[in-house]
Amino acid sequence: MTIALGVLLSGSGSNFQAIADRVLAGELDADICLVVSNKPDAYGLERARSMGIPTACISHRDFPERETFDQELVRTLREAGVQWVALAGFMRILTPAFLTPFAGRVVNIHPALLPACPGIHAQAQQAEYGVRLAGCTVHFVDEKMDHGPIIIQAAVPAFATDNADSLGARILELEHRIYPQALQWIASNRVRLQGRQVIIDGAARSAASAWWTNPPLEPPFTT
Ligand code: GAR
């Protein structure tokens, strides 16, 4: 099936671009009905316009309460025929006024291996903490921040020489790979929820013995 997708963003929109590119390539069965930003100057809106994708800007500053902002988002997305919503660098917390109408149909990408480093500046949090494995997560959205069931995660190495920018760039490359993949699993109706566990029908399973360390192990600890 083709999913009628709405994308919400607040900034550069490189994840939106990665999704849209896969749609254009015929690799992701989605119709991007609308791109919405809460910021008028978000570069993501520019990207959408240049691809001929409809856009809307709904500034949260025009709404005294989160709920009324969320209601306007819902109204706008519904009017555009949106069935599924992908948050792509959308920096607002959504309330039940948004999540109830789109229950189970909102996904997000976060630049860390959740549940580590939720919230803002996740790339800086990871670099400053000195993690050895950083990464990104695509997950369903629930009412708690960066909390819902996890669809896919990707790990990248982090080095002592990294800062938020260098680590963030390494993570972002993987974001662009895993987000379209997660959406295509959804579009092909392969994603089911069992409590917090997300089952992806037919997905290959990494060997139980598969693991990765950073730095790599050295002999004799390699065996
Ligand atoms: C991405 O790194 C995304 O994971 C992050 O914002 C960036 C948006 O980049 N999202 C969050 O931190 C959400 N908590 P983009 O606008 O280039 O896609």
pLDDT in tens, 91-123: 999 999 999 999 999 999 999 999 999 999 999
Average pLDDT over residues 66-74: 98
Mutational test site, ligand 1, from 109, 136, 166, max ligand atoms within 8 Å of CB: 109
165: CB partners within 8 A, 6+ apart: 123
**pLDDT for position 94:** 96
**Gap from CA of 88 to ligand 1 centroid (Å):** 6
Task: Name the pTM for this structure.
Answer: 0.97
CB of 131 within 8 A of CB of 116? yes
Is there a shared CATH topology between the 1-103 domain and the 108-223 domain?
yes
Residue 33 identity (one-letter amino acid): C
Say whether 176 is catalytic: no
Domain 1-103 in CATH 3.40.50.170? The answer is: yes
Residue 141 in this model has a pLDDT that exceeds 90: yes
CB of 188 within 6 A of ligand 1: the answer is no
3-state secondary structure of 23: helix
Q: Which atom of ligand 1 is nearest to the CA of 119?
A: 14
CB of 122 within 6 A of ligand 1: the answer is yes
* Exposed / middle / buried, residue 100 (Cβ in 10 Å: 0-12, 13-18, 19+): exposed
| CA–CA gap between residue 137 and residue 223 (Å, rounded) | 30
Q: Which atom of ligand 1 is nearest to the CA of 172?
A: 2
CB of 101 within 6 A of ligand 1: the answer is no
CB of 179 within 8 A of CB of 109? yes
**Gap from CA of 221 to ligand 1 centroid (Å):** 37
CB of 12 within 6 A of ligand 1: the answer is yes
**pLDDT for position 208:** 87
**pLDDT for position 64:** 94
CB of 96 within 8 A of CB of 178? no
Q: What is the pLDDT of residues 26-38, one digit of tens each?
A: 999 999 999 999 9
Q: What is the CATH number of domain 108-223?
A: 3.40.50.170
The residue ranges of every structural domain in the chain are 1-103, 108-223
Average pLDDT over residues 43-65: 97
